Amino acid sequence: MVRVEIRIKGMLKRPFGKAQMAMSCNEGTTISAVLHDLQYREDHTRYITTSVNNNLRKHNYVLKDGDELTLYMVIAGG
């Protein structure tokens, strides 16, 4: 099992009511799988930016024990 600390920024934390949580997942679990487990809609996940241990990572990144995953949305306007 892999234990991951998850930090959720901005409006992404609204469904959970908290900004951080811990999750245990299987070896080989990707960020995409975590987003699915957290029940973010698949068509919305393309707007979620992710970093692991303060380094930007794509959703196919395989998480390792002790990783800190941060989820946030980049918002732009004119």
> Where are the chain's structural domains?
2-73
Confidence class of residue 77 from pLDDT cuts 50, 70 and 90? low
Query: Residues near 58 by Cβ (< 8 Å), separated by ≥ 6?
Result: 31, 50
pLDDT tens profile 15-50: 888 899 999 999 999 999 999 999 998 888 999 999
Closest C-alpha to 69, from 5, 3, 12: 5
Task: Reply yes or no on domain 2-73 having CATH 3.10.20.30.
Answer: yes
Q: How confident is the model at residue 78 (pLDDT cuts 50, 70, 90)?
A: low
* Res 64: pLDDT: 97
Check: CB of residue 26 under 8 Å from CB of residue 58.
no
